[in-house]
């Protein structure tokens, strides 16, 4: 099936206006990879109409970040969407999305947006939530699919949808990994062979930490940190073991599901990864 490439709200409304059944949306910034393919496939199992959005949102990038060099691969994105029988690839430009110029009113992520990624990237989640809110209004889906790789983003989108009563169901899709364990990301395209050797340490640290879950939270965090510290070429930003709902650090004695989240620089490339860890017993 050939996916329709649309650029304006008017085209989108004309295309979707008389479609019946459930609409699913997969929001992306383009540079689609097999992680996005998995989001689309999960959406396809349930939804009658699939819309993929392809919009590089300037609002979520700080001036010193990689907006200008972010990969733009619209032709390949369209081909992937056609392979996956996506109905519409919606690729608006900045003026179409922010038709009144830079938005003066924004969605604020609040305290959950100030920690982990938000501590390193101030304002990032305000930019994400503002564009996600707009794209939900523009695409009007029944279901929206987001990857667990961006766990904090997923949590914040869920909170926005609940707190502000957006009429959409949010579905989380597990992270897709290379055989090496490296989580798929559009930013992996920046990595050369040497970088990849360094980058696999992220997922390796998560696996090593999960293997000692029975020893409790202190052992989990210590193990993750040891694996990360053993790779000197890795510029660790943070590694944290947090409650997945409050994002507060979990300490000794915590039992239940915790989120082990980390971010690090490999060369100039900032990568993130995370894993849910089942903590069954307390330690000291």
CB of 182 to ligand PAF, least distance (A): 17
Rounded Cα distance between 85 and 70, Å, is 26
Catalytic residue among 33, 36, 124, 137: 36
Closest to ligand PAF by CB, 6 vs 29, is 29
List of residues 6+ apart from 241 with CB closer than 8 A: 217, 220, 221, 224, 249, 250, 258, 259, 260, 277
CB of 127 to ligand PAF, least distance (A): 8
Would residue 7 show up in a list of annotated catalytic residues for this protein?
no
List of residues 6+ apart from 190 with CB closer than 8 A: 66, 69, 267, 268, 269
CB of 265 to ligand PAF, least distance (A): 19
Give the residue from 2, 57, 46, 58 showing the smallest Cα distance to 144: 46
User: At residue 222, what are phi and psi to the nearest 5 degrees?
Assistant: -60, -45
Closest to ligand PAF by CB, 199 vs 272, is 272
Closest to ligand PAF by CB, 156 vs 213, is 156
CB of 182 closer than 8 Å to CB of 199? yes
- Burial class of 82 by CB neighbour count within 10 A (0 to 12, 13 to 18, 19+): middle
CB of 252 to ligand PAF, least distance (A): 34
Closest to ligand PAF by CB, 155 vs 224, is 155
The 3-class SS string of 225-257 reads: HHHHHCCCCEEEEEEEEECCCCCCECCCCCCEE
Closest to ligand PAF by CB, 34 vs 278, is 34
* Binding residues vs ligand PAF (CB under 6 A): 27-29, 57, 60, 128, 131-132, 150, 153
CB of 79 to ligand PAF, least distance (A): 19
Active site residues: 36
């Amino acid at each position: 099936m050939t996916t329709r490439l649309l650029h304006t709200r008017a085209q989108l409304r004309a295309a979707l206006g008389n479609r019946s059944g459930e609409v699913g949306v997969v929001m992306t910034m383009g540079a689609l990879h097999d992680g996005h393919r998995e989001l689309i496939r999960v959406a396809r199992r349930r939804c009658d109409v699939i819309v993929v959005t392809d919009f590089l949102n300037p609002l979520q990038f700080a001036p010193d970040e990689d907006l200008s060099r972010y990969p733009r691969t619209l032709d390949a994105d369209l081909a992937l969407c056609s392979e996956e029988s996506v109905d519409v690839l919606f690729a608006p430009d900045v003026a179409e999305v922010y038709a009144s110029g830079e938005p003066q009113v924004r969605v604020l992520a609040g305290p959950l947006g100030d920690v982990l990624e938000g501590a390193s990237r101030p304002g990032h989640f305000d930019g994400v939530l503002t564009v996600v809110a707009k794209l939900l209004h523009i695409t009007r889906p029944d279901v929206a699919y987001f990857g667990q790789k961006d766990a904090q983003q997923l949590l914040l989108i869920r909170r926005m949808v609940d707190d502000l009563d957006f009429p959409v169901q949010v579905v989380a899709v597990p992270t897709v990994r290379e055989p090496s364990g490296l989580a798929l990301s559009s930013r992996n395209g920046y990595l050369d062979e040497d970088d990849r050797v360094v980058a696999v340490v992220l997922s390796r640290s998560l696996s090593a930490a999960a293997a000692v879950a029975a020893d409790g939270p202190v052992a989990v965090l210590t193990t993750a940190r040891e694996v990360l510290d053993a790779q000197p070429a890795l510029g660790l930003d943070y590694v944290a073991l947090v409650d997945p709902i409050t994002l507060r650090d979990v300490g000794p004695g915590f039992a239940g599901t915790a989120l082990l989240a980390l971010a690090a620089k490999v060369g100039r490339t900032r990568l993130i990864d995370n894993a849910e860890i089942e903590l069954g017993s307390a330690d000291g």
